[in-house]
Amino acid sequence: MEKKNIVVLDGYTLNPGDLSWDALKALGNCTIYDRTSAADVVERCKDADIVLTNKVVIRDAEMAQLPRLRYVGVLATGYNVVDTAAAAARGIVVTNIPAYSTDSVAQMVFAHLLNIVNAVQMHTESVRRGEWSSCADFSYMLSPQNELAGKTLGIIGLGNIGRRVAKIADAFGMRVIAKTSKRAEELPEYITPVSFDQFLAESDVVTLHCPLTPDTQHIINADSIARMKQGAILINTGRGPLIDEKAVAEALNSGKLRAAGFDVLAVEPALHDNPLLSARNAFFTPHIAWATYEARVRLMNIMLQNIEACLAGNVINKVN
């Protein structure tokens, strides 16, 4: 069988050098780019049968200029970077990588939450500056220290990640409530579905794990924040536009929100004038919740399985 031409448009975030592309190269004539600008997509893919992309956008205009293209593999779970309807109309298969980062993202939720309630790095830096050595007492606190046990964690979105976060929260002794369309009998006994009003009023911590849709865009906004507990904590490892960034920044600066942890922003990389960057008690990771070594190994393996299945005529993880 003739070898297929495979092009990876933006492989660096998946493999910054600690993984191997050898298994992919064995499947065809493989060209790998660390990054690709929008202007270079057509030129780089003009002879490609298979294109792999993470964040590089492929719309109908690009597909129209790529007559050989028969498969687009998105190297992520979300696939909004590809015009799936246009691909289907052109007979192009589009696949994604589901459920590879569940444990990693859930872990990051609690990395942010523990950073907020315990401030380990802040205290480490203080000790290194000699402030413990010169302290009159054996102990001091630079920030409030709080237990998670007994607090209420509110989850929006109970997919794989939301459910894993709920399980971890339960292990911490937290009460877990959720805004979800699922009924109580469909859920583990430690998750209680509630109305959105009750959710906002009772959550000490709100964490977002729902898809970005017209209904969920800016689900956390000035109105919903006003109905939240005074001093609540917000964590967003889902999608940046789930929150109104200006409203959240104002709530942080006023003290309505105690703190917030973000792994995602509405525009990435972050814009210099994003109001969250200068907001009080806002903490950031640069969209790396998905990117543990273990999760990237899983992503690479599922990517290979997707391509192998497609080449064998048995498509899996198709999204169009």
* DSSP 8-state assignment for residue 47: T
CB contact set of 52 (below 8 Å; sequence gap of 6+): 6, 7, 8, 9, 11, 72, 73, 74, 75, 303
Catalytic-labelled residue, pool 125, 186, 268, 294: 268
User: Of residues 209, 287, 296, 298, which has the active-site annotation?
Assistant: 287
Q: Closest by alpha carbon to 192, among 180, 201, 200?
A: 180
The question of whether 189 is a catalytic residue gets the answer no
Which stretches of the chain are DSSP H helices?
A: 22-25, 41-45, 60-63, 84-89, 102-118, 120-128, 160-171, 196-202, 222-226, 245-254, 293-311
Q: How far is CA 189 from the centre of its chain?
A: 26
The one catalytic residue in 112, 163, 239, 258 is 239
Residue owning tokens 């109908």: 60
**8 Å CB contact between 229 and 197:** no
Q: Is 129 a catalytic residue?
A: no
Whether 239 is a known active-site residue: answer: yes
- 106 is written with which tokens? 């859930």
- Say if CB 247 and CB 224 are below 8 A apart: no
- Give the residue numbers marked as catalytic: 239, 268, 287
